Structure 1
Amino acid sequence: MRLTLRRAVAAGSMLALIGAVAPAAAAYAQDDPRSCRDLLGADAPAYVQCHWLATPEEALGVALFWGADDNAKLKEATPYPGRFIDCSAPGSSCPAPPDGGAEGDENSPFPGDAEEGGTPECETGGQECAVGGYEAGGDGTAAGPETGTGAPRTATGQSAQTARTGQSAQEGQAVTPPTAAEIAAAAQTPGGQAVAAARATGLRVWLDTELADDWKAGPAAFAAAVKRVGALAARPEVAGIRFSTQLGYDTTFTAHEEVTAFVAAASAALRRAAPGKQLGVHTVVPEFACGAVEACKTETAKRYPLLAPERIESYLGTGGVDQLTLDGGLLRGGYTAWGIDAKTARRNQSIQLRARAWDVLARVAAEETGLVGDVSAQEVADRVATPLRDGAAQQVNVWTRLQDARGGVERLTAWDALKRLAPLQRRMAAVYDPATPETDPAADLKKIAEVFGQVYLTTA
């Protein structure tokens, strides 16, 4: 597994983080007019938040509207049209269940002709069938969880599910789940000990690794890398695996089809080696920050052809990725040529994310690597709170150490101010490399847990 330039520049050490002058409520809750956290008791846990769906004033207005004139509007109202069809109504046409109806428990996810845990009998001709909530190809291999949006399409018009047959399916099948002995051995490695130390502090653990170069090196190298990660991820305290960084941004891949094949192969192999774990990737979508500036969108599309929104979206959900992390590096100064400052770029990205509803397809995280050095307390607080408040991300990942090209290291230092962001703790994650500890991994992770709810452990 490669040590990417990004990891060399910012391979994590002990966290020292965000300076915020105001407490978390000022950075997040008090600025939110719909916050009702003031109604919670003083002993309410910091991670519990309260937001009005309708403020008391709005609720009164709604009640008065429907209650006016002896509830006249309420009496005239009709049910909102839904997606259900009354099959008994004249003119309705409803497909009949196969074979006159499904057999077995109506709540079972398995087809009627499959025993629990087994494989159903698929129709001939290579037609796809379902296995336990996953769509399977003609060879019966699970391809990924279903969503209601249909399988994304590749540039050739071929569905992502079909594209997983060929090389991706073969590579996924080449990986076998780790044995008990391999899992036990992984627990004794530095990475395994870091996982145990992180979990002991109450941190939610993700493994942060890179499989792109292993995949390009061939099936043997790829299978070995996945097995190493799978043995470490098999531990119950590991919530997920981020298997690629700078996906489509660096020079590892030159074609969208190649990226698609890698994501499909990696997700299939990891779901086999570490079943039940969430899978994520890190990348950036430059066009999002352009807003309505057409010249900006044209230039970013030309400069970053693998990072077009529709291509990144194809990896989400049925594409194999459960979590998408978007880097904030380009937002700081990357758009000045078009008169777009960092604040506007961040706002534009938030609008695009909400409009495309990517949070329905996958969990979206924002990643900050620039919260070091001479950064104002207000700027730091804004970078953490704003993506969450704007609905652009469900969590924010913060690098705990940055190394420049000359080998110098900058650290985040405002611990006391960061502690005031306690209401956001579960939504904040530290990116930390146990191979370069500040003190020792156990002590570093204990300090990280004072302000973060999650940690991404860099693994080789």
Structure 2
Amino acid sequence: MRLTLRRAVAAGSMLALIGAVAPAAAAHAQDEPRSCREEFAADAPAYVQCFWLATPEEAVDIARFWGADDSANLRAAEPYPGLFIDCSAPGTSCPEPQDGGADGDENSPLPEGAEDGGAPECEAGQECAVGGHHEGGNGTNGPETGSGTRPAAATPPTPAAQPTPAAAAVTGPVTAEEVAAAARTPVGQAVTAAKGAGLRVWLDTELADDWKAGEAAFTAAVKRIGALAARPEVAGIRFSARLGYDTAFATHEEVSAFVTAASAALRRAAPGKQLGVHTVVPEFACGAVEACKTEMAKRYPLLAPERIEAYLTAAGLDQLTLDGGLLRGGYTAWGIDAGAAQRNQSIQVRARAWDVLTRIAAEETGLVGDVTAEEVAERVSAPLKDGAAQQVNLWTRLQDGQGGVKRLTAWDTLERLGPLQRRMAAVYDPATPETDPAADLRRITGVFGQVYLTTP
């Protein structure tokens, strides 16, 4: 997958690329006749807006209309016309309910044979599930874990003009032999060491190249990752580190097809594991500056907010990581500094309620090398204070496109952020240890509560 070089180039590009919400906009909202901002406390943030669907005066008029003349208007009202079928109308055919519908027919929420808590019988080639645990046609079960996932939602088929190389790939739960073999690999040994150090473990990989390479390559990659993730030590899999950002995909349909296929395949290979992706939404940091939003939409058409939300909902992803690389210097052309860019992004995440759709993480690649204690504390705490992220990921090592390497040096400062430890995660590559993976992970556990292990 050529993971390390591609991710290094992508991270370096994010750092190399180039307002806050205008007070006038808030003032305009105050003058809006339907605004209900006056109902808020004096210290309510300016970005929180309120508008009456019906003003108190209108609500009184509505109540009087429906209550007048002993509620004559209400009694005379008819249902709003909708898409209903009258099964008694001549020429209309409606399906008849089958006998025993409550005892395991096609409309029952449980498979046949599972009404009393038993395991269903799966026919050859089928997949069936009871209580969130999957069985494949070969009878091999995935491991039980305490972390649940949302089932992948169905998405419209990809247009014929946008082929999906691995859309037909079928990957079932991995075998015990495959899990044992994966545990002996360098990443598998790092998983063991991370768990022993008390870290919550995620696998951090990139499946885009494998998906584009075709069914055989994609299936092999999913099997490999599934075998590593099958262990109870692993909480989740981040299967794309540059979703929609680089040149791997050309169209929204192609990205959507990849996310849907990858999430479905991983849920079959490693049932019960959380799934996530890493990307960036350039428009978020623009705030109310229309010229900035227009330019970012032109540069990154696959990263429009509505596109990212479509990817999330199509696959029911458990985590979305937003990169902070562009926030530092990427918006100076419009007079937006790093602090304003961070606030703008936080406002957009909250306003769109993305934390309802998935768990949001912020990722910082810019704290490697020489940084001040104040800079470290601010970058780590800002997205958490803003309520826009539930955790912050920090890289322990970064290789840029020119082959230079920068390392995390602010260990002492990070140790003083003890109350945030569970909300901080380290992105660590076992293939490039500072000492050896076991020793490195012991150091990481003194600062971080979680680790993302780079997985080829």
- TM-score after normalising by structure 1: 0.69
2:102 maps to a residue whose letter is E
Equivalent positions of 1:46-195 (< 5 A) are: 103=102, 111=109, 114-116=112-114, 118=120, 145=150, 160=155, 171=167, 174-195=170-191
Give the whole-Å Cα distance in 2 for the aligned partners of 1:299 and 1:119.
56
- Does the residue aligned with 1:198 lie in a helix, a strand or coil? helix
1:365 maps to a residue whose letter is A
Give the whole-Å Cα distance in 2 for the aligned partners of 1:168 and 1:268.
14
2:295 maps to a residue whose letter is E
1:160 maps to a residue whose letter is T
Give the whole-Å Cα distance in 2 for the aligned partners of 1:231 and 1:351.
39
Question: What's the offset of the Cα at 1:5?
Answer: 4.2
Question: What's the offset of the Cα at 1:325?
Answer: 0.5
Q: Is the 8 A contact 2:281 2:305 kept in 1?
A: yes
Question: What's the offset of the Cα at 1:8?
Answer: 3.3
- Does the residue aligned with 2:298 lie in a helix, a strand or coil? helix
Q: 1:101 to 1:329 in 2, by over 3 A?
A: farther
Partner of 2:217: 221
Equivalent positions of 1:145-294 (< 5 A) are: 145=150, 160=155, 171=167, 174-294=170-290
**Does residue 1:403 correspond to 2:399, yes or no?**
yes
Could you list the structure 1 runs, at least 4 aligned residues long, displaced by more than 6 angstroms after superposition: 90-93, 98-102, 130-134, 164-170
Residue in structure 1 matching 2:311, options 309, 312, 315: 315
Give the whole-Å Cα distance in 2 for the aligned partners of 1:396 and 1:405.
24
Partner of 2:441: 445
Q: Is the 8 A contact 1:283 1:325 kept in 2?
A: yes
Give the whole-Å Cα distance in 2 for the aligned partners of 1:427 and 1:336.
30
Mean Cα deviation higher: 298-307 or 318-327: 318-327
- 1:401-438 per-residue CA deviation (whole Å, 9 max, x = no partner) reads 12233323221222222111111111100000000101
Higher relative contact order (CA 8 A, sep 6+): 1
Give the whole-Å Cα distance in 1 for the aligned partners of 2:208 and 2:111.
39
Q: 1:337 to 1:169 in 2, by over 3 A?
A: closer
Residue in structure 2 matching 1:385, options 377, 381, 386: 381
- Does the residue aligned with 2:441 lie in a helix, a strand or coil? helix
- Does the residue aligned with 1:316 lie in a helix, a strand or coil? helix
Equivalent positions of 1:352-367 (< 5 A) are: 352-367=348-363
Give the whole-Å Cα distance in 1 for the aligned partners of 2:157 and 2:300.
26
Partner of 1:350: 346
- Does the residue aligned with 2:422 lie in a helix, a strand or coil? helix
Give the whole-Å Cα distance in 1 for the aligned partners of 2:201 and 2:159.
29
Question: What's the offset of the Cα at 1:113?
Answer: 6.6
Give the whole-Å Cα distance in 1 for the aligned partners of 2:235 and 2:169.
23
Q: Is the 8 A contact 2:168 2:215 kept in 1?
A: no
Mean Cα deviation higher: 230-239 or 172-181: 172-181
Q: Is the 8 A contact 2:171 2:222 kept in 1?
A: yes
Give the whole-Å Cα distance in 2 for the aligned partners of 1:224 and 1:400.
29
Partner of 2:3: 3
Q: Is the 8 A contact 2:178 2:227 kept in 1?
A: yes
Q: 1:269 to 1:242 in 2, by over 3 A?
A: same
Give the whole-Å Cα distance in 1 for the aligned partners of 2:285 and 2:131.
36
Q: Is the 8 A contact 1:10 1:402 kept in 2?
A: no
Count of matched residue positions in the alignment of Structure 1 and Structure 2: 352
- Does the residue aligned with 1:402 lie in a helix, a strand or coil? strand
Question: What's the offset of the Cα at 1:114?
Answer: 4.0
- 1:30-59 per-residue CA deviation (whole Å, 9 max, x = no partner) reads xxxxxxxxxxxxxxxxxxxxxxxxxxxxxx
Question: What's the offset of the Cα at 1:161?
Answer: 5.6
Question: What's the offset of the Cα at 1:243?
Answer: 0.5
Give the whole-Å Cα distance in 2 for the aligned partners of 1:110 and 1:244.
36
Q: 1:321 to 1:167 in 2, by over 3 A?
A: farther
2:371 maps to a residue whose letter is V
User: Which stretches in structure 1 are left out of the alignment for 5+ residues?
Assistant: 12-89, 121-129, 135-143, 152-158
Residue in structure 2 matching 1:332, options 328, 332, 357: 328
Question: What's the offset of the Cα at 1:343?
Answer: 0.4
- Does the residue aligned with 2:363 lie in a helix, a strand or coil? strand
Give the whole-Å Cα distance in 2 for the aligned partners of 1:409 and 1:213.
24
Percent identity between the aligned chains? Answer: 72
Q: Is the 8 A contact 1:119 1:131 kept in 2?
A: no
Give the whole-Å Cα distance in 1 for the aligned partners of 2:108 and 2:167.
26
Give the whole-Å Cα distance in 2 for the aligned partners of 1:339 and 1:286.
15
Q: 1:115 to 1:357 in 2, by over 3 A?
A: farther
Give the whole-Å Cα distance in 1 for the aligned partners of 2:349 and 2:131.
27
The structure with more radius of gyration: 2
Question: What's the offset of the Cα at 1:356?
Answer: 0.4
User: Which stretches in structure 2 are left out of the alignment for 5+ residues?
Assistant: 12-74, 80-84, 86-96, 123-127, 133-148
Give the whole-Å Cα distance in 1 for the aligned partners of 2:376 and 2:110.
55
- Does the residue aligned with 1:232 lie in a helix, a strand or coil? helix
- TM-score after normalising by structure 2: 0.70
- 1:340-392 per-residue CA deviation (whole Å, 9 max, x = no partner) reads 11100000000000000101111110000000233221111011011011111
- Does the residue aligned with 2:102 lie in a helix, a strand or coil? coil
| CA RMSD, 1 decimal | 3.4
